Structure 1
Amino acid sequence: MELSVLNIKGEDTGRKVTLSDAVFGVEPNEHAMYLDVKQYLANQRQGTHKAKERNEVAGSTKKIKKQKGTGGARAGSIKSPVFIGGGRVFGPKPRNYSFKLNKKLKEVARLSALSLLARDNRVALVESFTFETPKTKEIKSILSNLQSTGKTLVVLPSLDKNVVLSGRNLPKVKVSTAKDLNTFDLLNVEKVLLIEESVNVLENLYSEK
């Protein structure tokens, strides 16, 4: 698959880059992508939720009425879950939601996501650019020139602090490096802008040796 390289004005530079089939042309594995996204979202959960059970709420344990002869159901402690202010039955407790996935499966998931984006023509190649100082207005202008107005992922070959800070204030834009890509970010955008040099980084990371 060949893609034309665009400059920051959205113009074709006349150069083309051939994307490796080992990275951008694999058969998407939907289950692998599902598991990787599930793990990513699970890892975002704090797991600090807590509800008090009947042995933890404040209240008397005195029997509130006699066992028989009232015409109603028998009742013991006011801390019973059936009463207002009582404990909760099977309430949430603090827990760790994270789980393990094999590195190979996570790699398959990322390659599947990249191939899916390439197949749907949602990947664009852009010439390398940088800013002397963080400028949100400048990266917004670049995205406008590239006709990328929806959710966009900008993939850098290496960390550029000024570019990262420039895109941080834009709610629909995320800036990441090629080695830090994850399946959730790839599937959660409408378009991926690959800086030209990041293609080589991805191919070196994921191509079969």
Structure 2
Amino acid sequence: MKVAVVDIKGKETGREANLSDAVFAIEPNNHAVYLDVKQYLANQRQGTHKAKERAEISGSTRKIKKQKGTGTARAGSIKSGVFKGGGRMFGPRPRNYSFKLNKGMKRLARRSALSLKANDKAITVVEDFNFESPKTKDFINVLKALGLENKKSLIVLGESNNNVYLSSRNLKSSEVITSSELSTYKIMNANNVVLLEGSLEGIETNLAK
């Protein structure tokens, strides 16, 4: 698959990038995408939620009323969950939400996500660029030139670039990552994926296995 390479002003450079069909033009596996996104979101959960149960509540242990003859249900402890101030019944406990997903499945999911974006013509290839210093204004100008100012965008660099990263950090609608940080969730969460030329080799090396 060939895609025109543009510069940071949105103008075509006259060159084309050859995107690997093994990564950007496969038959998408929607279930693999679902599982990888589910794992990513599960891994974000801290799992530190906790509610006090009746054994952890401070209170009297005396029997609060006689067993029979009251006409109401028997009750043996003020710490029971049926009373105000009592322990919570079947409350949340700390737990680990993460689960295992093998590497082959994760690679398939990322290839599927990139192929879905390619089918939607939501992938743009931009020549490598840098800023002299971190400036959010310069980064916004790049997004405007690419027609992505009001869209959620994912910019993928070949290698870490501090000036570009810091220039984008204040923008909620745009995220800058390196090719090694690419995930199915981030691809699917963006309206448009911007690939710098320097990132293509790393993406294809990591995913075309």
TM (normalized to structure 2)? 0.97
In the alignment, structure 2 segments of 5+ residues that lack a partner are none
What is the one-letter code of the residue matched to 1:68? K
Give, in angstroms, the shift of residue 201 of structure 1: 1.8
Q: Give 1:101 shift.
A: 0.9
CA RMSD of aligned residues (A): 0.9
Aligned: 1:185 with 2:186 = yes
Aligned residue number for residue 200 of structure 1: 201
After superposition, residues 39-188 of structure 1 pair within 5 angstroms as: 39-148=39-148, 149-188=150-189
4+ long deviations beyond 6 Å: none
Separation of aligned partners in 2, 1:187 and 1:205: 18
Contact 2:56 2:87 in 1 (8 A): yes
Mapped partners of 1:48, 1:206: distance in 2: 34
The aligned amino acid for 2:9 is K
**What is the distance in 1 between the residues matched to 2:170 and 2:129?**
19
Unaligned 5+ runs, structure 1: none
1:16 matched residue in structure 2:
16
Letter in 1 for 2:88: R
CA–CA separation in structure 1 for the residues paired with 2:74 and 2:205: 71
Question: How far did 1:54 drift?
Answer: 0.5
3-state secondary structure, aligned to 1:55: helix
CA distance in 2, matches of 1:100, 1:24: 25
- Contact 2:110–2:207 (8 Å) recurs in 1: no
Q: Which residue of 2 aligns with 1:32?
A: 32
**Superposed CA offset, 1:77-117 (max 9, x none):** 00001000001111111111111110111000110101110
TM-score by length of 1: 0.97
Deviations 1:116-140 (A, max 9, x none): 1011100001111111211111011
Deviations 1:140-188 (A, max 9, x none): 1100110012100000011111111111110001101112100000000
Per-residue CA distance 1:17-64 (angstroms, 9 max, x = gap): 121101101111111111111111111111100001111011111111
Structure 1 CA distance for aligned equivalents of residues 126 and 182 of structure 2? 17
SS at match of 2:154: strand
Distance in 2 of aligned mates of 1:92 and 1:207: 42
Report the Cα distance in structure 1 between the residues aligned to 2:109 and 2:21, rounded to whole angstroms.
15
Aligned partners of 2:76, 2:163: CA distance in 1, in Å?
65
Instruction: For 1:90 and 1:150, locate their aligned partners in 2 and report how far apart those are by CA, in whole Å.
Output: 43
